[in-house]
Every structure is written in C-alpha cells, then in structure tokens.
Structure 1
Amino acid sequence: MPVPVFEEYEPAADCPCPGCARRRRELVLRRAVRAGGHPAAHGARRALVLFTAAGVVLGGGAPAAGGAAHPAGPLHPAGPAGRDTDEPGPETPQGGTTGLHGFPLTGPATGSVVTAPLPTITRTGIIERAKRWVAEKVPYSMEKYWTDGYRQDCSGYVSMAWKLPANEWTGSLHRYGTKIAWADLQPGDILLFHNPDNPTKGSHVTIFGGWTDQRRTHYIAYEQTKPHARRQATPLAYWTNSDRYVGYRYLGVVADDLSVGGDPPSSAFPGARRFGPGAANAHVTRLGRMLVERGGARFYDKGPGFAWSEADRRATAAFQRAQGWRGAEANGLPGPHTWRLLTTGRGRDIPPVAGQSPPPYPGRGHFRPGQANQHVEALGRQLVRRGYGKHYRTGPNRRWSEADRRNVQDFQRAQGWRGGAANGYPGPETWRRLFR
C-alpha cells in the first residue's frame, strides 16, 4: 500500500542507507520538544545512539537483501556530500539553529527563504566584528555561548559577524546570502561547505577577509575552530574539501568606501592619504605586491607589509624612474598615474641592477614535496619569465607542487640534459642557468 505523501517519513533505526542516515541526523539536529521541536526528534536521537552502539558491538553489516529502498534526499545548495578523504577535516561539529544565548526561537518555523528585514552592516563592520573574537581568543564550543549571545562554533561566529538575529548553522546560513563565484569574493563574504549526509564531518564556514596575493590562490580567513577564533592566510577555498566550498554574500550588506583585510577590489586610485609615513592599510600591501611583480623584489627584505615603509618608497621611486620621470614625479609616493600603470600592468618594469649576479642557490631541501617558502615562489616566477610556466594552472606560489617540478624539468631538458639530470628538482647549475 503506497504511503500518503503527507505522512512524515520515519527512518528505520537500523538501516544504514544514506537516506535513512540523513533523515536520522536531521531529526537529531532539530530543536527539542520543550523548545518547540517535533516529538519525533527525541525518538530519532535515541534510535541513533542505539544504532551506533549496535554497530560497535556487531561490527556493522550490509542491509538485508530485498529490503525496501529509502530516499537519499536532495543535496544542500552548498554542494554535494563530502567525499571520503585521508585528510583530516576541521573539527567543527555543528550545532542547530537557536536563539541568542541558546534560548528557544519563537515565532513560525524558519523556511528556505528569508523574508523578514535583516540587520544591515557594512563590509568593514563585518570584519571588525570578526576581529573581536580573534582578539579575545574566544574558545571553540558547540554548546557554549559567548557574552554577546552567539554560539562559539564556526556558524555561530558567522551569525555574530553578520549580526544575524539568531544562531544559524551550516545548513541554514545560505538562506541569508546570495551565491557568488570565488572570483567575486569581497571582504565580509563567506565560504561555506555543508555536508548534508553527515553535518559533523567536514562541514565548515569561513569569513573572507581579502586576497593575500595577486594570483588569488590564498586569502585571509577569519574562522572559529579549535582551539579558538583565528585569522590566517588560507588556501582557496580551504585545506580540505576545497572544491566543495561555495561563496555567499550577506543579503544585508551595504557599501562602504574601503575594503578591509586584503587587496582592495577596485583599481581606482584610493587617494594620496593612503600612502606615506604612518599609513597602514590594505592599499599599501597591494602597492608593494604590484611593485614586486614589476621588478621591485630587491627592495624588500621581509615585506611587502600592511604598514608603509622605506622599502615601499624606494620601490615606488624606482618604478617611477623606469617611466622616465624625475624630480617630484619620482618622489616615491604613488599618485593616480603611478597607480594606473601598476594596476593595469602598463608602463616599464623596474630594470635589474647592471651586472647583478643571480640570487644565491638556497639548497635542495627547499624544493621538495611539502615545502613552502619564498625560494619556491621566486623559482616559479623566474620559470614563467623564461617561458617555462605552461604547467601552472593558477600561477606559482610558495608551496612546492608537481607543476613546479614539471616546469623545472622542461627547463632542464631544454639544456640538453636527460635522466637524473632532468628530474625536475633544481640543483645549483639549474638555478644558475635559470637566473643568469
């Protein structure tokens, strides 16, 4: 006899199929009966615990032959379920949707679309709120709530930064944003991965703080993870399940005049007051990186950095002199014309020093799987300059990759080397010839 379409589907407690497993997990994450949740959730929680215990004792098993099939359920908009991987995912078990300080939500149940007016906030405001938890080193917890009322896990962190009226989770945050491409990310947007088959395995969300490099391979991520809230450079989109993350922009975001925490998205000149002694902002960082790309790397010992330095002034002046400018036009402070040439890639590069010798060979240990350092990036850039960069898909970076090895191998073979002399790992002679 067919089941009526309005009758709620109750998952079997001992069925391991994806549909039943997903349904049991959904019921477990619902609110308790005393908080207005469905009574079936209590039974599902008990069934899930009993089923897990039985699996430990009996060692699991395949479903009986001829058993009824169960629906797998639709995938979440943030992407398909996370694949099995040997890489550890973020330890961020998911809490459900709750009110501030964990109080039960009131009013009608939330649906798939948000219709109520949302609090508005600027991008700068989102990042400033995110920085508070980083500065206070708010410890990670799925069960505790910080003094501002938000749950101390990754989705509670985003709820706080977006100034949402309640604590959301990775399965509901997408309702408060609009999906965007990675190329369109701006500070205050989020990168979200929700695993609908098992929300506690791999599901995570980070706040995008800005690009860290011109090739857009890494970004500043604000995230709540063990042991506490942090801010750090992160590969796009994340260390694990990277291809499963989806960008979202908060529906209540309003414009402000300056992006925070990374490369400003606009190529318009930000104004002379953004540069010079005492200046510290994302535009200074972007200027330095553009100057490095145009031949100014020798002026920087450590940077480019967030704060204006003498290295920035000297590199800017060298670029201005390369255009044939003199006097006040080459004072080392960027104006609209300097900025336009840098952001559009036009004008002449900073010339190398006459008779300059190649950089010293740093040693074989820097060019091995798992290594990440400035020498790997310098090698990659030089390979591209010499026309041996065809294996890069996103451009060279600080982490050694198979693309680096294959490009080095192409260069070695062009020297007439074969066998072990063309293994793709640069030695002193490869380095000397590449940089001469």
Structure 2
Amino acid sequence: MTVPAFEEYVPAVDCTCAGCVAQRRTAASALPVRYGGHPAAHGARRALVLATAAGVVLGSGVAEAAGPTGDRAAEAAGAARADREGDSPQGGPGPLRGAGAAGPPSSTTTTPKLRKTSRADIIKRAKKWVSAEVPYSMVKYWSDGYRQDCSGFVSMAWNLPGNEWTGSLAAFGTRIARADLQPGDILLFHNPADPSKGSHVTIFGGWTDSTHTHYTAYEQTKPHTRKKTTPMAYWSNSGSYVAYRYKGLSSGSAGSGSSVPGFPGTGKFGPGASNKYVTQLGRMLVDRGGRRFYEVGPGPGWGDADRRATRAFQKAQGWKGEEADGIPGPDTWQLLAAGTGRDIPGTGSGSGGGGTGAGHGDPGPDSKFPGRGYFRPGQSNGHVERLGKQLVKKGFGKHYTSGPGPRWTEADRRNVEAFQRAQGWRGGAADGYPGPETWRRLFG
C-alpha cells in the first residue's frame, strides 16, 4: 500500500484549475498585517496538501492537464466575473521590476514621493496598456516595470516610483466627491477585512451621459487592460468606491511651461495677445464644435470668443474651477492637437431646451455637424435618425435590428464605431460617438 505523501504546494502562476486559483487568492489575502492583510490569514499562507492517487494516471504518474478548450473557458469565465464580482486579486507594495526598475521600493510608512504629471499624460499612459492589451496578472510585470494587476496599472498611469496596491494608493491622492471627478482621477475600493475580496481600482476617463450614471473606465482586469463604459462607480460594491485625485497633478490651465509638443505657453493667450497661436487655437476649437462662439475668425487677436470656446471645451472634459478658466494650458492644448478628449456639446444637448435637440424637427443641412450633445443615451431627435439612415446607406447598419429611428441606442453607437474603425481610427477616436470629422466623412 502506498503511503500518502505530504508536501508544500505552491500554485502554478498560469494554471486555471480550481485548486491553483484558490491558493493564489489565499496568498493574496495573506499580505502582511502592516499592508492591511487579515491576521487570521497568516496561519494558512502555505497549505499542506495531500498528494494521493486522485487526479494522477495510475501506472504512469502523469497528471491530467486541462486542454485548450478548458483554458479558453476559464479565461472567459474569469472575464465575466471581473465585471460582476470585481475579481481582481493583486500583489502588495513593491519596487518596479525588470527594465523599468529604478530606486528602492515605495513604502506606505514614509512620505510618498510625488512625480508631477498632467491629466492628459495619465490618460495617455493608460491608453498604452489598453492598446497593448496587457494580460492581467498579480505576479507578472510589464516591460515598464509595473505589476500587471489593477493597482499596478494605476501606479503606472500616475507615474508612481513603485508598485502600490489598493491599501496604499490613497496616500498618493486627495479624496474628492464623485461629482467632482475629472479624467485621470481614480475610483478606489479597498476591503481591509479581506483585501482579496472585491478590492479594485479604476481610472476615471470622463462621463458618458448627461445624468452622470456611467463613465469611461480604464482598468486592469481579466483577461487584459480595457476601456469600457461602466456604471458609477462599479458593477459590484459600487457604494464602497471612493474618488481620489493624484496629489502631484499639474493643472491643465495654469502654468506657463511648454512641455507639451507645440504648446507655446499660456503667455501667448489672454487679453492683449495677438499671434499665430491664437489663430491655431481657434481653428482647433472650431473643429471640435466651437463654431457658434465665433461670429468672425478665428484670427490672431485674442477675444471673448476664444475664451468662451476654450472654456466650453475644458468643461466638456469635466474640468471645473481653475482648470476651466478659458485660458489653454498644456492639457487643453494636447487634447486639441491630438484630436482626443470630448468635443464641445451642441446647444441642444440634454433633455430640455428648444430646437431640434428636444424633438423631431428638421436637423438642417446634412454637412453641418450639430454637436455631440445630440448623440447620447436618452436623446431623441432628427439628427439621430438622419445619422442612422446615412450609416445604413454607407453599409454600416448591421447592428440595427429595427429602425434606424430618432432615439439614440447602443446599435447607433456600435454602427458609428464600426464606421470610425473603418477610417483607421482607434482608441478614443473610435468611441462610437460622432464628432465633426465623423460627420464630415459620412455626409461629405
């Protein structure tokens, strides 16, 4: 009779079997108490496992492995759980690894070292991981040195000197109200009683509707980094998520630096300014929905039209106070120059007001873009129906099961996204919401 053997069991990093998954979660919850780990978890950090004949092919000693179909099914199941359960186990605080490593590990027991960064740069770094589809892992590190889990993703986007976790990220931010969220801020849920149960963090990318019930979330979750419209604040544990703003954030409108390529500095704008950069700014604002602010121009002389159009663009990004003062800073300029961020909404946006934004009136000339405010959840107007019919005419109507009609639906958004991708656009330029260039190419 074979005597059962006891041995320490270390779960395989990439194994998707139930045993390894459970062991990895146990290891995650057994972080040191000083990092918020649960004291009761330490007695079970390394489990003794009974190795018996179960699961082993008798006579050959070869373990039965899961096939490719099982791997794909496990990955799909993990991705579904990530939405509803916040299934995102993570590692603890530590240094950067590999090529990105530099300096000692960060520590929550000392004053955090802050590196200055802008909102635009935070979103730009987040989009790099989205584009690369960085695989989710609580133990692996990407080429930039950051851990491939939710807290490592935020550490990377905030340009922190090391890898943090949900129990330490708050030390690098200032708590804010959800109503004050702006792109680059985070929504953080840390469960101190059981850190591996539900703890998660996302990057706020901007509101997706006028009621502020959904937002664009950049997050690291199974199976890889993603950008997705998400309920405020998350699919599960929504009430426990807290909004934070990075303490080292540089203002999008203040300062006279020109770290953004092409940005001439805030000194080129404001009362009394007259130069080519004012003209360039005005033209970019017109392209992003600011035509109505200019009776003539744009031109080289700074005027109230430039200030109002700039402020409208800044407010469209969700910025407030000093960050929406009507004077362009590095962040404002970068979004305009790169064609990213949100366009200036039309005057008829929202559920009320006159004009065709609230009813089914004549949208006017096809070639004139009415503004992005007409194309949002809950909107119903003639512009939406005209857009849908043109999409069908151009061969991009496969997502319609009926219609198109005057009410904006997910089918409209998906058809617009398909058209945008057909232009070679990616990321925020193919979000499914029409802007001036999308409209011009559809109706031009």
Structure of higher CA gyration radius: 1
Q: TM-score, normalised by structure 1?
A: 0.48
Normalising by structure 2, report the TM-score: 0.47
